[in-house]
Amino acid sequence: MGGGGSSDGSGDDGSGYDVGAVRARFPALRAGAAHFDGPGGSQVPDAVADAVAATLVSPLANRGRVTAAERAADDVVLAARAAVADLLGADPGGIVFGRSMTELTFAMARTLAATWRPGDEVIVTRLDHDANVRPWCLAAEAVGAVVRWADFHPRTAELTVADVAQQLSSRTRLVAVTGASNLLGTRPPVDLIAAAAHERGALVFVDGVHLTAHAPVDVAALGADLYACSPYKFLGPHCGALAAAPALLETLTPQKLLPSSDAVPERFELGTLPYELLAGTTAAVDFLAGLVPQATGTRRERLTASMTAVERHEDRLRHRIEDGLAELPGVVVHSRAARRTPTLLLSFPDRGPDGCQEAYRFLAGRGVNAPAGTFYALEASRRLGFGDAGALRVGLAPYTDDGDVDRLLVGLAAFLSGATG
């Protein structure tokens, strides 16, 4: 398999980011596939798997400070809160964990809806994953609130502040917007959208699942009142995390069991937390913080340096892919926003309605994993004209290298030329 980020596919690309060294830490890559399926879930480094396994075989109990097993569980939770807070630039006291971002969003939607009145308004966008659309629609319907839709521009794939601002009113209670589209990669101007929403007194809920995996995140700079993400998209295990100011969480009363803690953030966590997954989350954050070994300072500072390097590495490879696709007749690239993650949505108009699924299967036969579908960004897929079938998505990850890109481009060229395998 290919190595690193230099022009010959091996070693340091000059920025301190050595993709060859990064790849060596991912046991799954030894199977030989080129993974462009990271937006659906990244591969996991050895340190994360080791942390999960070590926690599972350690003495554990319900959280407390009396027995060693209780202290171990408590320490795991507190460490995970601190780690996610460092990753997002948030307050550890406002980090809530759950089974998934979807579950956390549904729970928060129900909690916030209890404060809405008939005629209040909620804004969602057609760019978003359904996990940041449907929970708000259902919550609004349950209390008689109005859902207003902010549209994006299919030709440019852009969602502008004006698109959202024109839906705002004095009755707006919440704006739900993605930090980055998991289908198109578009990164809307969340900070400007949040500023406009806050002028109307509305809260801003940001789906940061896709953004967190590809760029440094600062929830305060984004203006996000609530920010949700999924560790399994940034090299961690399958669980969800939500960040908010503790003071905001103190004003909210979720449905919960009577004996469970009323403290923040615990009051938002239903049942016993999966300690092994939280340990894996901490390990994933620590792994990200070490991607540029020469970076120094606090973990937050090292994370910022590492994610900046990841963004630069992935953008270089994205440009390589885009340049290669420009030379292939019969492929249309729909990811066109000026600011975007390394995520490309492709279609093949000359290959008929099943062209994207055929490309998916053809590439898989060559050990290149680039799936086709809507990826739960259902409204975006329909707005683009792909209906419920979607299109082919190519997504990069920190372990993607030039060799992977070469295999992808060669595979697509073969598919378009009519090769059979």
| Residue 161 CA neighbour count, 13 Å, CB half | 10
154 plus 223 within the same structural domain: yes
- Residue 157 placed within a domain: yes
Quick check: 237 and 41 in contact, CB under 8 A? no
What is the pLDDT, as a whole number, of residue 1? 28
324 plus 410 within the same structural domain: yes
- What burial class does residue 254 get, using C-beta atoms within 10 Å of its C-beta: 0-12 exposed, 13-18 middle, 19+ buried? middle
255 plus 116 within the same structural domain: yes
What is the pLDDT, as a whole number, of residue 13? 57
233 plus 343 within the same structural domain: no
| Dihedral (CA of 234, 295, 179, 326) sign | negative
The domain that holds 397 is classified in CATH as 3.90.1150.10
Q: Total structural domains in the chain?
A: 2
What is the pLDDT, as a whole number, of residue 249? 98
133 plus 265 within the same structural domain: yes
Residue where one domain finishes, among candidates 288, 313, 338: 288
Q: Give the count of beta carbons closer than 10 Å to the beta carbon of residue 216.
A: 20
All residue ranges of the chain with pLDDT < 50 are 1-10
193 plus 309 within the same structural domain: no
At 216-245, the pLDDT tens digits run: 999 999 999 999 999 999 999 999 999 999
Quick check: 141 and 116 in contact, CB under 8 A? no
What is the pLDDT, as a whole number, of residue 419? 73
What is the pLDDT, as a whole number, of residue 9? 46
At 346-357, the pLDDT tens digits run: 999 999 999 999
Strand-pair category, 203-207 with 172-178: parallel
Quick check: 77 and 63 in contact, CB under 8 A? yes
What is the pLDDT, as a whole number, of residue 421? 61
27 plus 78 within the same structural domain: no
pTM confidence score: 0.96
71 plus 214 within the same structural domain: yes
Quick check: 382 and 360 in contact, CB under 8 A? no
- Residue 163 placed within a domain: yes
202 plus 351 within the same structural domain: no
The domain that holds 166 is classified in CATH as 3.40.640.10
Whole-Å CA distances, 18 to 21, 51, 66, 309: 5, 23, 44, 10
284 plus 311 within the same structural domain: no
Residue where one domain finishes, among candidates 288, 313, 332: 288
At 20-78, the pLDDT tens digits run: 999 999 999 999 999 999 999 999 999 999 999 999 999 999 999 999 999 999 999 99
Query: With the CA atoms of 398, 401, 406 and 412 taken in that order, what torsion angle do they form, in degrees rounded to the nearest 10?
Result: -10
Domain residues for 58?
50-288
Find, among 115, 198, 181, 226, the residue nearest to 343 by Cα.
Answer: 181
- Residue 338 placed within a domain: yes
Residue where one domain finishes, among candidates 264, 288, 312: 288
